[in-house]
């Protein structure tokens, strides 16, 4: 019994793993996307080859294509595994149908031989006419009918089983053909990988002859990247400060309104009290004149069954309730508030929707491939040199339209080694750099997939866009996130 929980745990684990396996249609769609990515990479590579000199962009394009081919081979292998599983299941089903068909045929053959040996038609007539009475004859007719139906059922089972068997054999042959096509496709991809690997080695050897020039480019790009990073951080800090000031001003306005409301309420209470006192004085004076015999004790008059006490002299001033200075309190609490708390409800909704669409954001260009990955990484040509990318480099077509990946507001446009556009989405900011032109202006509210500019050229003349995503986190920390995790795959 102690092994029972372990058994159920393993069963649940295997079920979870099986549930995570992609379906065949998903694998086919992924294979189509990878083939399309390879085609786009090849098209981009052909464009960079117009210049006879070998460039680092060509090396990146070939490396991207090699990576896509490796992913494609992995996807094909997963498809082949699924087909092998289907082939095994189909083969087992064919064996089962063959066994059933053999049983049905034996049973039917035995009944046919039995009927032939005993001349079934004559025996049946004799069996029917030998009935003792009418009821016995009816029962024998029902028996004979059921016997014929049984024979017909046997024949139908044989026919249906044969049909299923032929269908499964067709499925098996189709699966074998699909497997053969995938194996051929895999072999073609492996041959392409070998050829492109050789091409990569040739490019590397040629580029290493330009090492000093390339090292200068690396240093220049590093300086530009740090300059861009510092500018982006400063822009985002300004946005945080603007939001803080707006939130503080809103808090002061609400505090002033609350203070004015309380003062008005206190003034209204004093007015009502004074009016009530004047009313009592008038009533007491009227009673005194109407009843002179009423005794007067100090400020107290007795008129009949009523006693009225009047206050003489100036009324004591009402004690003012100490009201905390909301302005000062607000300023103390809003010195460094969370940026998210400073956002308006509308902007908060945009920020939350942006976060909810992680992995589903559209690409900033309609067609392209990632030629430069996010984060710290070794240089593709000089492994000992570390480079850092705050976003992803997307190679695309010449003059391609650059699109906003989500609804937002354009907060900054600058020229830092190419046009840079910053779009605010609440806590998140998307940055589009290396643009040749901008088609929006600061303050514009933009929609998802709206064109905001055109792709430009990098230092080697290759068409590309650098796309970054920044987030303002806890304690107003500003940091980048990997855009590849946010855009649709």
Q: Are 439 and 251 in contact (CB under 8 A)?
A: no
Tell whether the torsion through CA atoms of 321, 327, 328 and 331 is positive or negative.
Answer: positive
Of 403, 436, 423, 434, the C-alpha closest to 469 is 423
**Taking Cα atoms as reference points, which of 172, 228, 182 lies closest to residue 81?**
182
pLDDT tier for residue 470 given thresholds of 50, 70 and 90:
very high
Q: What share of the chain is helix, strand, coil (3-state, %, to 5)?
A: 60, 15, 20
Band (pLDDT 50/70/90 cuts) for residue 139 is confident
pLDDT band at 51; cut points 50, 70, 90: low
Mean predicted confidence (pLDDT) in 83-112: 83
Residue 173 CA neighbour count, 13 Å, CB half:
6
Looking at the DSSP bridge assignments, the partners of residue 445 are 409
Question: pLDDT > 90: what percent of the chain?
Answer: 22
Mean local confidence (pLDDT), 473-482 = 89
Q: What is the pLDDT of residue 292?
A: 62
pLDDT of residue 332 exceeding 50, the answer is no
At 374, the pLDDT band (50, 70, 90 cuts) reads very high
Angle 38-40-43 (CA atoms, 0-180°, nearest 5)?
110
User: 346-485 belongs to which homologous superfamily?
Assistant: Glucose Permease (Domain IIA) (2.70.70.10)
Rounded to whole angstroms, the Cα distance separating 19 from 36 reads: 28
Instruction: Count other C-beta atoms under 10 Å from residue 251's C-beta.
Output: 18
Backbone angles phi, psi at 50, to 5 degrees: -60, -35
Q: What tokens does 335 get?
A: 């010195």
pLDDT attached to residue 321: 47
Q: For residue 48, what is the enclosing H or E element?
A: helix 24-48
> Taking a C-beta distance cutoff of 8 angstroms, is the pair 412, 422 a contact?
yes
CA 381 to CA 375: how far, in whole Å?
A: 17
Higher pLDDT, 335 or 56: 56
pLDDT of residue 333: 43
Question: In whole angstroms, what is the distance from residue 13 CA to residue 440 CA?
Answer: 52
Which residue would you say has higher pLDDT here, 157 or 410? 410
Q: Does the pLDDT of residue 296 top 60, yes or no?
A: no
- Please state the rounded mean pLDDT for residues 22-42: 78
Cα 105 to Cα 156: distance, rounded to the nearest angstrom: 11
Give the pLDDT confidence score for residue 131 in this predicted structure.
63
Distance, in Å, from the CA atom of 45 to the CA atom of 63, rounded to the nearest integer, reads 11
SS3 state at 401: strand
pLDDT score, position 124: 57
Angstrom CA distances, 476 to 29, 226, 242, 428, 438, stand at 41, 21, 13, 12, 29
Tell me how long the chain is: 489
- For 255-273, how does the pLDDT look when each residue is reduced to its tens digit (9 = 90+)? 888 888 998 888 888 888 8
* DSSP assignment letter at 368: -
Q: In CATH terms, are 17-211 and 346-485 the same topology?
A: no
Task: Output the average pLDDT for the chain.
Answer: 79
* Residue corresponding to tokens 């995570």: 20
Instruction: Give the 3-state secondary structure of residue 323.
Output: coil
Cα 404 from Cα 471, distance rounded (Å) = 17
Measured between alpha carbons, how far is 49 from 376 in angstroms, rounded to an integer? Answer: 28
**Given the DSSP bridges, would you call strands 375-378 and 386-389 parallel, antiparallel or unpaired?**
antiparallel
CATH number 3.30.2320 is the correct assignment for the domain at 17-211: no
Could you please report the per-residue DSSP string of 355-380?
HHTTTTBPPSSSS-EEEE-SEEEE-S
Give residue for tokens 């190419």: 418
pLDDT confidence of residue 318:
47
C-alpha distances in Å from residue 69, one per residue of 64, 110, 204: 9, 60, 20
Could you read off the pLDDT of 201-210 as tens digits, one per residue? Answer: 888 888 877 7
Q: Where are the domains of the chain?
A: 17-211, 346-485
- Write the pLDDT tens digit of every residue in 184-223: 988 988 898 888 888 888 888 888 777 788 888 888 888 8
pLDDT of 78 strictly over 70:
yes
Mean pLDDT across 286-313: 56
């Amino acid at each position: 019994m102690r092994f029972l929980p372990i058994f159920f745990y393993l069963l649940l684990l295997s079920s979870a793993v099986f549930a995570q396996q992609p379906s065949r249609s998903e694998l086919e769609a992924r294979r189509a996307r990878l083939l399309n990515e390879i085609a786009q990479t090849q098209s981009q590579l052909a464009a960079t080859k117009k210049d006879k000199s070998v460039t680092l962009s060509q090396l990146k394009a070939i490396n991207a294509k090699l990576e896509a081919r490796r992913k494609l081979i992995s996807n094909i292998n997963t498809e082949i595994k699924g087909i092998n599983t289907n082939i095994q299941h189909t083969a087992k089903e064919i064996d089962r149908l063959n066994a059933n068909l053999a049983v049905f045929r034996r049973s039917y053959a035995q009944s046919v031989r039995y009927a032939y040996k005993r001349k079934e038609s004559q025996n049946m007539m004799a069996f029917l006419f030998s009935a003792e009475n009418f009821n016995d004859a009816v029962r024998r007719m029902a028996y004979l009918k059921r016997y014929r139906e049984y024979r017909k059922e046997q024949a139908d089972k044989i026919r249906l089983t044969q049909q299923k068997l032929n269908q499964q054999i067709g499925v098996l042959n189709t699966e074998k053909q699909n497997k053969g096509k995938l194996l051929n496709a895999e072999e073609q991809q492996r041959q392409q990988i070998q050829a492109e690997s050789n091409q990569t080695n040739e490019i590397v050897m040629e580029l290493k002859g330009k090492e000093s020039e390339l090292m200068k480019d690396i240093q220049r790009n590093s300086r530009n990247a740090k300059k861009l990073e510092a500018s982006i951080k400063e822009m985002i800090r300004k946005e945080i400060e603007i939001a803080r000031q707006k939130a503080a001003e809103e808090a002061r306005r609400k505090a002033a309104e609350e203070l004015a409301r309380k003062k008005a309420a206190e003034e209204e209470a004093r007015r009502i009290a004074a009016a009530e006192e004047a009313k009592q004085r008038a009533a007491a004076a009227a009673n005194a004149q109407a009843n002179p015999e009423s005794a007067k004790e100090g400020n107290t008059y007795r008129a009949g069954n009523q006693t009225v006490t009047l206050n003489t002299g100036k009324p004591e001033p009402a004690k003012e309730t100490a009201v905390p200075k909301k302005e000062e309190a607000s300023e103390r609490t809003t010195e460094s508030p969370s940026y998210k708390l400073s956002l308006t409800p509308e902007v908060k909704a945009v920020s939350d929707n942006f976060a909810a669409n992680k992995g589903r954001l559209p690409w900033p260009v309609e067609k392209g491939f990632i030629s430069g990955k996010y984060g710290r990484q070794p240089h593709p040509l000089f492994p000992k040199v570390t480079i850092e990318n705050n976003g992803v480099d997307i190679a695309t077509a010449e003059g391609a339209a650059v699109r906003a990946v989500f609804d937002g507001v354009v907060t900054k446009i600058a020229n830092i080694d190419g046009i840079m556009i910053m779009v605010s989405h609440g806590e998140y900011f998307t940055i589009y750099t290396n643009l040749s032109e901008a088609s929006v202006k600061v303050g514009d509210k933009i929609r998802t997939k709206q064109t905001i500019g055109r792709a430009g050229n990098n230092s080697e003349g290759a068409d590309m866009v650098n796309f970054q995503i920044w987030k303002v986190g806890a304690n107003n920390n500003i940091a980048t996130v990997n855009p590849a995790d946010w855009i649709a795959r």
